[in-house]
């Protein structure tokens, strides 16, 4: 596959209501990712997919279903439970000319691979003055619910956003899930994709051909003049709904989906705040030192003069996730939290 020739789609179709979707092909989120993998595997023999359970009968969240049958067990394979070494194996394979896609069904397990991911993958190109490089895609699913509790519910984007040398991608639509996966595989560098489990409920327009969505470019999902909401992953759709509801009160929110957290499209955020003067950041990770911290501080540093009001940070409470569903729900954030913040900020 000649990645450089892959068409780049910058314009994202309207997605929350699938406006203009008539006659377009609609796929589920897992199908969109699977199609990206399928295309990459067919077009580029350097690409392979590894990870615990990728060859399970159901595939990983459906996204890898039967790929091992189509491409053989050499190119789509299960791994031992050895997250530390397997991350190193993926790095080594990338160094030696392959394009591994390494799936993890929880980011919690990435903590076993932090040394390889942070000390090795993220630093390799720099450390050797560009002599070698690591075209590696690491994919993990975040999300909570059903009492999964403290070790199976983390949304660790706040950790990974701190690491120079690692690109961090969090798609919010089916279209982007496919296009960002292909962009990540085409990238010459380590890219971490975090997909929220809730996203797997989405359907959306997904063009059948191979296309990439650029890493590092955000998109405005809804235009508005009063408040800017930067929302991450599944919260993009929540933010759009909240904005819709707030519109009834005369508040017009602009919703930005950054799509990539690192590199972050600071410009799109600053331009929006320049217009609205108000900023809400919504993230499903922990608050302290997380995504909302970086984006908030960035605006307080570079867009201070635009700000007419304090920034608002909506994020999960700084707690391990409790199992009991009433407590778990009390920790979750979504449309209502965003709406509340919107109305408070414009009151």
Ligand X SMILES: Cc1ncc(C[n+]2csc(CCOP(=O)(O)OP(=O)(O)O)c2C)c(N)n1
User: Which residues does the annotation mark as catalytic?
Assistant: 152
Nearest approach, Cβ of residue 123 and a second copy (Å)? 4
Q: Which residues pair with 8 in a beta bridge?
A: 212
> Is the separation of the CB atoms in 220 and 38 below 8 Å?
no
Least Å distance, CB 216 to other proteins, is 10
Q: Any contact of residue 111 with ligand X (CB under 6 A)?
A: no
**Residue 277 binding a second copy, by CB under 8 A:** no
Residues contacting 142, CB < 8 A, separation 6+: 106, 107, 154, 155, 156, 157, 194, 195, 196, 197, 233, 284
Residues 62-101 that bind a second copy (CB under 8 A): 84
Q: How many Cβ atoms sit within 10 Å of the Cβ of residue 242?
A: 29
Q: Does 276 bind ligand X (CB under 6 A)?
A: no
| Beta strand ranges found along 78-207 (DSSP E) | 99-104, 137-142, 167-169, 191-196, 203-205
Q: Which one-letter DSSP state was computed for residue 146?
A: T
346 binds, among other proteins, a second copy, ligand X, none (CB under 5 to 8 A by kind): none
The contact pattern for ligand X, residues 65-94, with x = CB under 6 A and - = no contact, is: ----------------x-x-----------
Q: Chain centroid to CA 204: how far?
A: 16
Number of shown-chain residues binding a second copy (CB under 8 A): 51
The nearer residue to a second copy, 14 or 307, going by C-beta atoms, is 307
Residue 331 binding target from other proteins, a second copy, ligand X, none, CB below 5 to 8 Å by type: other proteins
The C-alpha atoms of residue 221 and residue 201 are separated, in whole angstroms, by 19
Instruction: Give the residue with the Cβ less far from a second copy, 16 or 272.
Output: 272
Taking a C-beta distance cutoff of 8 angstroms, is the pair 282, 232 a contact?
yes
What is the Cα–Cα distance from 129 to 123, expressed in whole angstroms?
10
Residue 76: name its binding partner from other proteins, ligand X, a second copy, none (Cβ under 5 to 8 Å by kind): none
Q: Is 326 one of the binding residues for a second copy (CB under 8 A)?
A: no
Write out the binding residues for ligand X, residues 13-52 only, by CB under 6 A. Answer: 52
Q: How many CB atoms lie within 10 A of CB 270?
A: 17
- Interface with a second copy includes 36 (CB under 8 A)? no
Both tokens of 115, joined, read 């040394």
How many residues of this chain interact with ligand X, rule: CB under 6 A? 5
Q: Is 300 in the site for a second copy (CB under 8 A)?
A: yes
Q: Is 309 in the site for a second copy (CB under 8 A)?
A: yes
**Is 159 among the residues that bind a second copy (CB under 8 A)?**
yes
Give the residues lining the site for ligand X (CB under 6 A): 52, 81, 83, 109, 112
């Amino acid at each position: 596959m000649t990645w450089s020739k892959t068409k780049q789609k910058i314009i994202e179709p309207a997605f929350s209501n699938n406006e203009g979707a008539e006659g377009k092909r609609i796929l589920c989120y897992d199908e969109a990712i699977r199609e990206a993998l399928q295309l990459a595997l067919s077009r580029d023999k350097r690409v392979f997919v590894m990870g615990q359970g990728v060859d399970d009968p159901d595939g990983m969240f459906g996204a890898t279903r039967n790929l091992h049958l189509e491409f053989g067990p050499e190119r789509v394979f299960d791994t031992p439970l050895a997250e530390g070494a397997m991350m190193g194996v993926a790095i080594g394979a990338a160094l030696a000319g392959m394009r591994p896609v390494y799936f993890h069904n929880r980011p919690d397990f990435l903590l076993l691979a932090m040394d390889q991911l942070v000390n090795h993958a993220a630093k390799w190109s720099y450390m050797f003055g560009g002599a070698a490089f690591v075209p590696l895609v690491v994919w993990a699913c975040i999300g909570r619910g059903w009492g999964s509790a403290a070790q199976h519910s983390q949304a660790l984007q706040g950790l990974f956003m701190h690491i120079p040398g690692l690109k961090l991608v969090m798609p919010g639509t089916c279209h982007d899930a496919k296009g960002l996966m292909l962009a990540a595989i085409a990238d010459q560098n380590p890219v971490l994709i975090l997909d929220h489990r809730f996203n797997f409920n989405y359907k959306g327009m997904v063009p059948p051909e191979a296309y990439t969505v650029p890493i590092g470019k955000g998109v405005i999902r809804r235009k508005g003049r009063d408040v800017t909401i930067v929302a991450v992953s599944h919260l993009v759709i929540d933010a759009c709904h909240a904005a819709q509801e707030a519109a009834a009160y005369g508040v017009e929110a602009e919703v930005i989906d950054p799509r990539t957290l690192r590199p972050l499209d600071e410009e799109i955020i600053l331009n929006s705040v320049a217009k609205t003067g108000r900023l809400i950041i919504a993230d499903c990770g922990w608050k302290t030192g997380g995504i909302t911290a970086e984006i908030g501080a960035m605006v307080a540093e570079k867009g201070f003069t635009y700000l007419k009001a304090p920034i608002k940070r909506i994020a999960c409470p700084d707690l391990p996730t409790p199992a009991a569903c009433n407590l778990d729900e009390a920790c979750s954030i979504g449309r209502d939290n965003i709406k509340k913040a919107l109305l408070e900020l414009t009151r």
